[in-house]
Every structure is written in structure tokens, then in C-alpha cells.
């Protein structure tokens, strides 16, 4: 199925939901960008999830239709759900609130700070408090299901299942699964376990080490308080010994949960900033919000960034940098000029340069610097195209992402690399500058790059 999904771009579901672009998926599901059309004709972005209509599909459809009734500011909404068929394949679909970024796209770049984690938890707890109070369990709390929409943090909702639903535990195996799911059970306390795993991962970029065959709790890495205590109480092997959502809120406020207190739904209050006495803002830290919010992604995609002129050495000539190919081998000027450059994973070659004038006009190529964690997050190939304006001396003056369905991390990496490219000077010059399109292709195996001139 994974190869079939993308072929359906441009098709339409139910005569009203166009599959505008493939956002991602697996053998078992796919997500496309679509639009919702209001009664006034206004359109807004939405995401549409497709899954095969196989055994148990009717129960899933019934759940999705019931979930349309849920409404919470920290829960992604489900607008519509139904059946459809594409090329003879029977499918179910759910149209959901659109969010461009999630936490799993940020973690390859860096972990959250303690302050940011303290800002992330309250909205997640608020959503869980609401969900559990309505008789549902989430079932898939993990970084990929924690989204940023504007300045709001929201949980996905399409995986929710009723606590009374015997199929609630029938989900794909995951490293986040608590011990009780081995027996087909999934409880409200199971969400608490998942949240504990997620908390450790967002603070360290790695989930805790746990031997599932053993009866011991996961081994926790060094964590600042109160996060270590929260994680410890969330990750109790015995589900009955885990803290509740309300307990986590108390620990965040620096309070000790009362063991005699009934583990019922309680309001979640935003905790004080870690290490400070004054309250934290009601929104998540601006630093994280800029990375994951849709507005931040769009700003990166369309802003025009001026590039400072490179400093010249004392002799007035541009410094020569040897051309380096994959594996560190020297490349001839001709090979640099006429072939797309590729760097292997784990050893990105950041620059190739020569002052020679090459047939295609490229003098220096720079590859994006991608972390090992960023490589692991790639499925298939991520293509980012950057349009640059080049001055008469061959330097990049302006750059902006032209296209590419990538996270802000890969867009930003491509933008920064493109700004350091250099092209052969043009004798006649152009007062408006020359335009080039630079294309970067990111895969788990490495990164390739190519460039072509554009007409104004």
C-alpha cells in the first residue's frame, strides 16, 4: 500500500475532498492535505487520513463518527468520516484539523528545554483529562501525535477508543506500549505510561531503556525535577501504582500528590517555570512554537533572507577551498560543475568550491548539515527547492524556499546551505540579479543537490 498512496495525489474523496498532496503514511494508513469548503464558499486546509477497509473497519468508522462530538482546545478535531473507494480499493477516511508540524520533527534537531517541556505538558494533560472524562483512552501518546497549531499544543484524536471497546488494545505494536497491552488491555493508566515515555524522549531525544521481558521499570536517564519524579511515577509496571493525570499536574506545581485522593478528573493548572517562582505563560515557549507552529514554517518558507558578503583574505582574492566529494576524495572542477553532488549519511560534505568558471555556472556547492537523528526521521526522499538571487559577483543575495513538503528543520537546513553557494560572475551583470533554483534531496543514505538557472 505504501507505494500506492502517493499515486492518488490529485484524486478526490466523496466528491468534495481533493487529495492535494501526500503528507506521509505507512503500509496501514496515509495522510493527505485537503480542503474543507464552508457554506460561504471559503476554503481552509485540513488533513484527510485513509486506511484500508478491512476486518474491524466498521468499528473504526463508528469510533471516528463518535469522536466528531468531542471538542477541546488541545485536541485536534475530526470534521467528517466515511467510506470511499479508489481504483477498486475500499477505504475509510477521516477529515481532521490540519497541523503542519509535530514534536517528532523537532527532536532530531534538539531536545526540549525544561521550560519548554513545562509548557508542553499542561495542554496535553488538559486534553487527556477531557478525553478520560468522556470515557475514552488515547492509545498513542508519543511525539508524533503532539502537534503545534499556531501557539496551541494539541493531541491527535483519530486513535481514541472507548475504555469499553474490546478492540481498543488491538493496535500496532509500539515501543511506547505499556506492559498491560500484551494482554490486549488499554486503560487510562496506559496513557499515563505513554506520557512518561514521551516526556523522557522530548527531554533527552531518546526514550528510556526498558527490557520488556523483565519485570523492572524502565531505566531513567538524569532528568531535572520535577520531570524525573513525574517520569518515575508514570512508568510503574503495575498500572494501579501509576500516578494519575491530576497527580502529574500537582507534581508540576511542586505539590506532593495525596495518596488518599481519589484519582478523578481535576483541573490542570499551568505550573510555575522550572527554577522560578512566577507562573509560566499559558502558551508554550515561543522558542519551541517558532519551530513547530504553522506560522513559523510559513515564515521560513517565504521570507527573503539577505546574505552578507563574504570577507576577502588580505591579498584581496577569494580564498580557495579544495573541492571535496563523498568520502573526502578530491574532485576535479569539471566533476563539481557537471554532476549533482551527493553526500553520504553520517558524513555530510558541507562545501565544495573552486574559482574556475564551470559550464553550468556553479563555483561552490554547499550541502545541508543534517544530524543523524534527522536522517532517521526520513521515510523515502524529502525534496526541498530553494530559489536564490545571485549578484554579478556570483554571491547569493537572497534565498527563499520555493517548494517542498518538508518540515521546517529540513527547509531551514536547505535555506542555510543555499545561501553559501557561489556561481560564476557574469561579465555583463544584471542590476536585478540572476535567479537560480537549487534542489536538495534528503534520504537516509545521504543528500544530493543540483542547480539550474531560471528566467525572470
pLDDT of residue 360: 65
Q: Cβ of 382: how many Cβ atoms within 10 Å?
A: 22
Domain CATH number, residue 162: 1.10.510.10
Residue reference for cell 495518596: 259
pLDDT of residue 171: 52
Q: What's the whole-number mean pLDDT along residues 81-106?
A: 90
pLDDT of residue 28: 83
pLDDT exceeds cutoff 60 at 410: yes
pLDDT exceeds cutoff 80 at 100: no
Is-contact 335 359, C-beta < 8 A? no
**Do 201 and 253 fall into the same domain?**
yes
Q: What's the whole-number mean pLDDT along residues 355-364?
A: 65
Picking from 253, 281, 283, 285, the residue whose alpha carbon sits closest to that of residue 267 is 253
**Do 148 and 276 fall into the same domain?**
yes
pLDDT tens, residue by residue, 233-246: 999 999 999 999 99
Cell numbers that stand for 449 in this block: 543537490
First to last CA, the chain: 41
- CB-based burial, 227-238: b 16+ in 10 Å, e otherwise: bbebbebbbbbe
Band (pLDDT 50/70/90 cuts) for residue 173 is low
Please compute Rg for the chain using Cα positions. Answer: 25
Portion of the chain with pLDDT greater than 90, in percent? 36
Mean pLDDT for the chain overall: 75
Pick 167 or 87 by higher pLDDT. Answer: 87
**Do 10 and 44 fall into the same domain?**
yes
Cell numbers that stand for 72 in this block: 477541546
Residue 262, φ and ψ in degrees, nearest 5: -65, 135
**Do 89 and 121 fall into the same domain?**
no
Q: What is the pTM of this model?
A: 0.60
Cell numbers that stand for 219 in this block: 531505566
pLDDT of residue 64: 92
pLDDT of residue 93: 95
Residue 45, φ and ψ in degrees, nearest 5: -65, 145
Q: Cβ of 454: how many Cβ atoms within 10 Å?
A: 13
**Do 13 and 123 fall into the same domain?**
no
Least confident of 151-165, 302-316, 399-413, 423-437: 302-316
Domain CATH number, residue 49: 3.30.200.20
Picking from 263, 294, 325, the residue at the C-terminal end of a domain is 294
Band (pLDDT 50/70/90 cuts) for residue 165 is low
**Do 25 and 48 fall into the same domain?**
yes
**Which residues have C-beta within 8 Å of that of residue 433, sequence separation ≥ 6?**
389, 390, 391, 392, 397, 398
pLDDT tens, residue by residue, 267-304: 443 333 333 333 333 344 443 443 333 322 322 232 23
pLDDT of residue 159: 87
Q: How far is 169 from 186, CA to CA, in rounded Å? A: 5
> Which element (helix H / strand E) includes 383?
strand 382-390
**Range of the structural domain that residue 78 is part of:** 2-97
**Do 251 and 123 fall into the same domain?**
yes
What is the total count of domains within the chain? 3
**Do 62 and 169 fall into the same domain?**
no
* 316 three-class SS: coil
**Do 338 and 402 fall into the same domain?**
yes
Amino acid at each position: 500500500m505504501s507505494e500506492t498512496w502517493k499515486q492518488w495525489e490529485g484524486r478526490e474523496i466523496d466528491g468534495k475532498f481533493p487529495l492535494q498532496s501526500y503528507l506521509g503514511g505507512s503500509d496501514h494508513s496515509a495522510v493527505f492535505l485537503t480542503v474543507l469548503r464552508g457554506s460561504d464558499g471559503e476554503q481552509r486546509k485540513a488533513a484527510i487520513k485513509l486506511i484500508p477497509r478491512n476486518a474491524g473497519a466498521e468499528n473504526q468508522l463508528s469510533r471516528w463518527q463518535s469522536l466528531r462530538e468531542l471538542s477541546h482546545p488541545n485536541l485536534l478535531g475530526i470534521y467528517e468520516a466515511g467510506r470511499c473507494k479508489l481504483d477498486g480499493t475500499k477505504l475509510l477516511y477521516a477529515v481532521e484539523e490540519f497541523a503542519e508540524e509535530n514534536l517528532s520533527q523537532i527532536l532530531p534537531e534538539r531536545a526540549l528545554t525544561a521550560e519548554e517541556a513545562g509548557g508542553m505538558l499542561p495542554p496535553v494533560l488538559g486534553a487527556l483529562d477531557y478525553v478520560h472524562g468522556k470515557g475514552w483512552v488515547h492509545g498513542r501518546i508519543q511525539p508524533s501525535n503532539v502537534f503545534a497549531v499556531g501557539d496551541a499544543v494539541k493531541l491527535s484524536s483519530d486513535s481514541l477508543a472507548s475504555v469499553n471497546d474490546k478492540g481498543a488494545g488491538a493496535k500496532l505494536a509500539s515501543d511506547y506500549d505499556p506492559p498491560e497491552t500484551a494482554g490486549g488491555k488499554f486503560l487510562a493508566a496506559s496513557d499515563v505510561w505513554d506520557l512518561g515515555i514521551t516526556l523522557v524522549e522530548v527531554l533527552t531525544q531518546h526514550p528510556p531503556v526498558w527490557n520488556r521481558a523483565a519485570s523492572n521499570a524502565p531505566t531513567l536517564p538524569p532528568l531535572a525535577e520535577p520531570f524525573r519524579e513525574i517520569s518515575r511515577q508514570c512508568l510503574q509496571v503495575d498500572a494501579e501504582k501509576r500516578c494519575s493525570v491530576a497527580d502529574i499536574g500537582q507534581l508540576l506545581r511542586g505539590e506532593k500528590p495525596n495518596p488518599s485522593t481519589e484519582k478523578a478528573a481535576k483541573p490542570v493548572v499551568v505550573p510555575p517555570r522550572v527554577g522560578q517562582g512566577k507562573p509560566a505563560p499559558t502558551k508554550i515557549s515561543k522558542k519551541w512554537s517558532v519551530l513547530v507552529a504553522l506560522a513559523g514554517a510559513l515564515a521560513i518558507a517565504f521570507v527573503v533572507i539577505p546574505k552578507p558578503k563574504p570577507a576577502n583574505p588580505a591579498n584581496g582574492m577569494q580564498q580557495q577551498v579544495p573541492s571535496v566529494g563523498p568520502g573526502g576524495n578530491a574532485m576535479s572542477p569539471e566533476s563539481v560543475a557537471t554532476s549533482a553532488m551527493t553526500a553520504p549519511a553520517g558524513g555530510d560534505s558541507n562545501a565544495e568550491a573552486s574559482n574556475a568558471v564551470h559550464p553550468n555556472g556553479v563555483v561552490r556547492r554547499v550541502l545541508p548539515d543534517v544530524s543523524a537523528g534527522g536522517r532517521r526521521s526520513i521515510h523515502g526522499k524529502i525534496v526541498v527547492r530553494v530559489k536564490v538571487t545571485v549578484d554579478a559577483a556570483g554571491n547569493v543575495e537572497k534565498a527563499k524556499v520555493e517548494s517542498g513538503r518538508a518540515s521546517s528543520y529540513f527547509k531551514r537546513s536547505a535555506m542555510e546551505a543555499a545561501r553559501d553557494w557561489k556561481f560564476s560572475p557574469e561579465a555583463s551583470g544584471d542590476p536585478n540579479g540572476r535567479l537560480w533554483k537549487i534542489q536538495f534531496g534528503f534520504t537516509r543514505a545521504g543528500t544530493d543537490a543540483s542547480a539550474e538557472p531560471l528566467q525572470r
